[in-house]
Amino acid sequence: MLNISKVKIKETIPFSGAKSLVMTLPVKEAKKRIRILTTLVLIFFLVLFLPWTQNIRSKGYVTALRPDQRPQTIHSVIAGRIEKWYVNEGAFVTKGDTIVRISEIKDEYFDSLLLPRTQQQVDAKSQSARSYSGKVDALQGQIQALRRNNVLKVQQAENKLRMAELKVESDSIKYQQAQVNFEIGQKQLDRWEELYKEGLRSLTDLESRRLNFQDVQAKVIAAENAYLSSQNELISAQIELETVDNEFKDKLAKAESDMYSAMSAQFDAEATVSKLENQYSNYEARTGFRYILAPQNGFLARSIQVGIGETIKEGDPILNIVPAEASLAVEMYVAPVDLPLIKVGNRVRFIFDGWPAIVFSGWPQISNGTFGGVVVAIDQFAGPNNQYRVLVTEDPEEEPWPEMLRIGSGADGIALLNDVPVWYEIWRQLNGFPADYYTQEQKDQLAKEKK
């Protein structure tokens, strides 16, 4: 009421029975407003000194801590055509369960007896290699026999050469003896002729002496002939010794050449055997790749290739699988300006999609519906979004994460930093200063070092 008129209604009309009207009268309103304003100022002043937990908000999603526990795509190792599906989408499979069977589409693998025939080729080449190995052994035995035989032949030729040398020496002595006898006979004949001329010897004695001299002369010629013959035998023995060595070298070279040829053929056969065995192993492994097996326990999420008779190439994805057991973690991203504030071991609060929560970001103690986590890894480089990835796992000291939490669920992360007064946080926000980089203990330590 404006109270413009000097006539007061309350003085003419009793208000004792109108309680609602009495409550509207401006009686003691100023005092009430002052008390309310004072109370609010006092409360605001007290709130300024309440502790406030600095934090960094970031969006992320649930993933697995280990790479082998994250959702993966099963690919086909070989090209083929889908023949049969053994499971449905969403089914649980254990490691080694058959998921899909495919057939070959390349003509070199159409043969239904490919493995047995390849094994026959391996066996045949193995027999060939063993045959060459036997030939090598035989030639090695032949070479050893040649060496032993050559030793005996060389000894025989050396003995023959020594006999020829001795015979030459013996015939040389006989020849010298015959020459001496010839000289003596010549002198005796000359003396007999002088005696005959002097008449002291008869012609018969002279002729007898001449006959004896001719016999001596014949012996000289025979001795010389025998000596020359023994020299020829010596030369023949030397030639024979050289011939034995040359023949041995020729036979040895031929045998070694045959042996090396057999060894080369053996090595070629063994190389072919290894190649065929490798090919057989590849065929055998390829036969196993016709069945797509589950790599681990999990649930089939989505089939990428569908239908019967559809052809696929090498490396084409077939379906997705989600591991059944995984150590969950949250993958969140922070801006480069906030990266220095995040350390391994920092605590983080999460609000998971589907789980209601009442959150006071500055007072995590009175928040409800949030779950705790611990930073375990920080990327050393920024991702495509120019932010750094941070992995956070479940905090073992707090309430466990929900059992129904699934990989891919959204998560709103609140990384908890230092505890500061509310007035300090307001002042920091108004001035655009970053959050505190150090804990209070570190600040105290730095202050001590400065002193």
Q: How many residues does the chain have?
A: 451
User: Given a cut of 60, is residue 390 above it in pLDDT?
Assistant: yes
**Residue percentage of the chain with pLDDT more than 90:** 0
- pLDDT at residue 446 in the model: 47
Token pair listed for 421: 């007064």
Do 221 and 331 lie in one domain? The reply is no
Q: 195-223: per-residue pLDDT in tens?
A: 767 766 666 766 777 777 777 777 778 77
Task: For residues 335 and 235, state if they share a domain.
Answer: no
> 3-state SS string over 305-357?
CCCCCCEECCCCEEEEEEECCCCEEEEEEECCCCHHHCCCCCEEEEEECCCCC
d(CA 441, CA 190): 147
Looking at this protein, which amino acid is placed at residue 377? Answer: A
143 and 89 together in one domain: no
Rounded Cα distance between 40 and 146, Å, is 122
Which range, 4-8, 103-107, 202-206, is most confident? 103-107
Name the helix (H) or strand (E) containing 299.
strand 298-303
pLDDT more than 70, % of the chain: 80
Nearest-10 Cα torsion for 295, 296, 299, 302: -20
DSSP annotation string for 148-162: HHHHHHHHHHHHHHH
With vertex at residue 100, the alpha carbon angle to CA 97 and CA 311, rounded to the nearest 5 degrees, is 160
Distance CA 409, CA 241 (A): 99
| Whether 208 and 340 share a structural domain | no
Of 272, 303, 322, which residue is a domain's last? 322
Q: Are residues 357 and 342 in the same domain?
A: yes
Structure confidence at residue 143 (pLDDT)? 86
Indicate the number of domains in the chain: 3
For residue 177, is it within any domain?
yes
Please give the Cα distance from 392 to 375 (Å, whole number): 4
Same domain, 209 and 165: yes
Residue at 12 is within a domain: no
pLDDT score of 443: 47
pLDDT, residue 438, reads: 46
Same domain, yes or no, for 280 and 422? Answer: no
Helix H or strand E segment including 33: helix 29-48
Confidence class for position 5, pLDDT limits 50, 70, 90 = low
* CATH code of 204's domain: 1.10.287.620
User: Residue 67 carries which DSSP code?
Assistant: G
Q: What is the pTM of this model?
A: 0.56
Q: Is the pLDDT of residue 243 over 50?
A: yes
For residues 149 and 27, the model is more confident at: 149
The predicted-structure confidence for 157-194, as pLDDT tens digits, reads as follows: 788 878 878 887 887 787 787 777 777 777 777 777 77
CA distance 162 to 155: 10
Confidence of residue 21 (pLDDT cuts 50, 70, 90): low
> How many other C-beta atoms can be found within 10 angstroms of the C-beta atom of residue 343?
10
Q: What integer is the mean pLDDT of 41-56? A: 73
Q: Is residue 265 located within the same domain as residue 412?
A: no
Tell whether 425 and 396 lie within a shared domain: yes
Structural domain of 90: 71-104+290-322
